[in-house]
Amino acid sequence: MGGNQTSVTEFLLVGFPLSPRMQLLLFGLFSVFYAFTLLGNGVILGLISLDSKLHTPMYFFLSQLATVDIAYACNTVPQMLVNLLSPAQPISFAGCLTQTFLFMIFALTECLLLVVMSYDRYVAICLPLRYSTIMSWRVCITLVVASWTSGFLLALVHMVLLLPLPFCGPQNVNHFLCELLAVLKLACADTHLNEVVIVAAGMLVLVGPVSAIVVSYAHILRAVLKIQSAEGRWKAFSTCSSHLCVVGLFYGTAIIMYIGPQHGDPQEKKKYLLLFHSLFNPMLNPLIYSLRNREVKAALRRRLGKGRPS
């Protein structure tokens, strides 16, 4: 950093420039959504850990997704709520970059977990006789560890490129959280390399996995149509449709944000897309899986039944 530049020690998150009354209303609304996110994903985790009938690879992966969603929400929503109550409250430089790093870890890990879950459904429906052999617990744990490790390493690459950049002002981050692209705009240096790496990583963890998921579900659809019993087809479609809903919500918003054009007017719209991505996705995931999954609903009934006095 040049001698005549002043290093930034804190940032100010612009968030949503609204009236105080509207900010207070959003604070209450987002607090309820946040509580539902923690409650819904916590219930999924509790059911999977307590009910032995859910001790299968599919629900093991679902428990990991719920864990990521809880961590994801806890990293982004509290700061957003603080911002709604105190718009002038700054966030430290270290705190901002920590939030950026954790946000990337959880988002990248979720990308990879969704691919793993689609592979699990592919093996279950297209290769049912070999399912227990292919999806052994050792393989499941390896896939989950690989997803978390890859998410961490990919996020670390972005941080290694971000940390050396000088930040000498302005301090206003045009976002409700310390999102990578929004922080990069404040750097007092050329960020072309960072932007190229973001697009390349987006192609790797978004376009590649989506292509793999589409191919997997093409095979799954062909296999499902061959199932003779209506009940068997319905069970296969119900579990797969839940996963497809989650995939569509997650990847749809992520691709628009990180692979679409990065300059001009769309940036403001992307801020609202990320709001949906970080606030609503983690809340909707447990609802989608519980409402469309008979086994989860049956496990919930069993738990509630045991809790009632005889």
What tens digit of pLDDT does each residue of 268-307 get? 677 778 888 888 888 888 888 776 677 777 787 887 776 5
pLDDT of residue 267: 62
Paired with 92 in beta bridges are 10
Percent share of the chain, pLDDT over 70: 92
Q: How far apart are CA 283 and CA 267, in angstroms?
A: 24
- In total, the chain counts a number of residues equal to 310
Contacts of 222 (CB under 8 A, 6+ apart): none
Q: Whose structure tokens read 């992966």?
A: 61
More confident residue, 129 or 253: 129
Q: How far apart are CA 27 and CA 47, in angstroms?
A: 30
pLDDT of residue 261: 59
pLDDT of residue 263: 54
The domain limits of the chain are 10-304
Average pLDDT rounded to a whole number, residues 218-230: 82
Q: Is the pLDDT confidence value at 2 over 60? A: no
For residue 140, how many C-alpha atoms fall within 13 Å in the half-sphere facing its CB?
20
pLDDT of residue 309: 53
Average pLDDT rounded to a whole number, residues 50-65: 90
pLDDT of residue 303: 76
More confident residue, 304 or 5: 304
Q: Give residue-wise pLDDT tens across range 116-152.
A: 998 998 998 888 889 999 999 999 999 999 999 999 9
pLDDT of residue 4: 43
Q: How far apart are CA 20 and CA 17, in angstroms?
A: 9
- Is residue 75 within 8 A of residue 103, CB to CB? The reply is yes
- Is residue 194 within 8 A of residue 184, CB to CB? The reply is yes
Q: Element (H or E) spanning 173, and its range?
A: strand 172-173
Q: What secondary structure letter does DSSP report for 186?
A: T
- Is residue 83 within 8 A of residue 13, CB to CB? The reply is yes
User: What's the mean pLDDT when you consider all of the chain?
Assistant: 85
Helix (H, G, I), strand (E, B) or coil at 69: helix
More confident residue, 242 or 282: 282
Q: What is the pTM of this model?
A: 0.87
Q: Give residue-wise pLDDT tens across range 159-189.
A: 999 999 988 877 888 888 898 988 998 888 8
Contacts of 227 (CB under 8 A, 6+ apart): 233, 236
Lowest mean pLDDT of 110-114, 209-213, 289-293, name the range: 289-293
Most confident of 88-92, 157-161, 245-249: 157-161
Assigned CATH for 10-304:
1.20.1070.10
Sheet of 10-13, strands arranged across: 91-92, 10-13, 172-173
- Peptide bond preceding 57 in cis form (omega within 30 of 0): no
Q: Is the pLDDT confidence value at 194 over 70? A: yes
